[in-house]
Amino acid sequence: MKFYPYKRLNRPVTLRVTSVSLKLPDGSRDRLDTSSFSTPKRTVALGVAQHEDWVTARIALSATLPPGATDADAPWSEVRVLAVLTDGDTNVRTSVDLTQDGPDSKEWSGTIDVRRDDHAGRASLAVHAVATVDDIPGRAITETDGDWKIDTTAEEPLEGLALDVKQTGFSKSAREWLRPYADVPWIVDASGRLPLVMINTDVEGFSDLLDGETGGMENKVHELLLSQMATDVWTAVFHSAIGDLEVEPDGSPVFPTDWRGEVLRDMLPDVVPGFRPEDALRQVQRRRTGDAGWVELQTRIHYAAVRRAGARQSLTNMLRALQRNNREDLP
């Protein structure tokens, strides 16, 4: 634990990556899919587009300061918010100022460029809020409580959404709530500390298929099943996160502080595109509790879940494998 001889905020900055693009040698830019970054795992995978010759990556950021950071009566002034990229292997350190979205906003945004030649593998990205405290400028008043990892070679953000996965036979499970679902291969429970995925071992061969990677067509089936499960998980956790929001006195919904808040911040840009996170949350809450618009929003929620599950790539890989098998079977 660190001690500071001045007042600080006791809550961290929340950092999100909102978009990633690569600058190629010809000067063009390739905007990467949202599957290239994972908010729950705080990871950006710059190898997702499989460009071997990208020059720089531009990462768009959004940071939320905790309450009290910009209050008029705060014990500091001249608040600045800095995004800092560090690489211990190459001793490179890059920092940029983020810009406050509005005079009274807790949201700050901006971009930081990652030069490929400056990094050998993984770099760390953090955000620091600094201010003038007791007439001393540049004092840190809060920061992110965990770094994002910027992986210059990985083709996917490692692990994605953190899950608790368990296997059991549903029909005779000690968890009585599972027994009515004995005819389904998996079920998602998003009510706990982490989303729980229960695999039904009563489905013959299903558990072996998920556990093993034997290569060939079975590997592609394995991949497709995982993407389908991931789609169900993302859909379930979104509905869980949006279903029990705290509301401020003026009726504005508040982002949860656990994984539910991270899920909402990650998915809302695809569910309600073109809005800032707080405005998007209000839009969804209004539709969910109002008289109209919630049913129509289900398509966008499913779309956001499918993108994060990587379902398109899994299906493409499966279809290519089938085509290869068909060609090999021709006389």
170-184 pLDDT, tens digit each:
998 888 999 999 999
| CA neighbor of 17 nearest in space, from 143, 159, 149 | 149
Nearest CA-CA partner of 81 in 95, 102, 60: 95
Looking at residues 226-251, what average pLDDT do you find? 86
CB within 8 A of 19, min separation 6: which ones? 31, 32, 34, 59, 60
Q: For residue 219, is pLDDT > 90?
A: no
- CA dist., res. 288 & res. 301, Å (int): 12
Closest CA to 206 of 179, 226, 180: 226
CA distance 331 to 321: 18
pTM given for the model: 0.54
Query: Which is more confident, 21 or 50?
Result: 21
Band of the pLDDT at 301, cuts 50, 70, 90?
very high
pLDDT of 90-130, one tens digit each?
A: 889 999 999 999 887 889 999 999 998 888 677 889 999 99
Interatomic CA distance for residues 230 and 218, integer angstroms? 18
Q: What is the pLDDT of residue 299?
A: 94
Structure-block tokens of residue 222: 């394995």
Instruction: From 12, 249, 281, select the one nearest 147 (Cα to Cα).
Output: 12
Supply 266's token pair: 């990650």
pLDDT above 70: percentage of residues in the chain: 90
Mean pLDDT of all residues belonging to the chain: 84
Contact between 20 and 59 (Cβ < 8 Å): yes
| Mean pLDDT within 187-206 | 84
Task: Evaluate if residue 155 carries a pLDDT over 60.
Answer: yes
Q: Given this model, what pLDDT does residue 158 score? A: 46
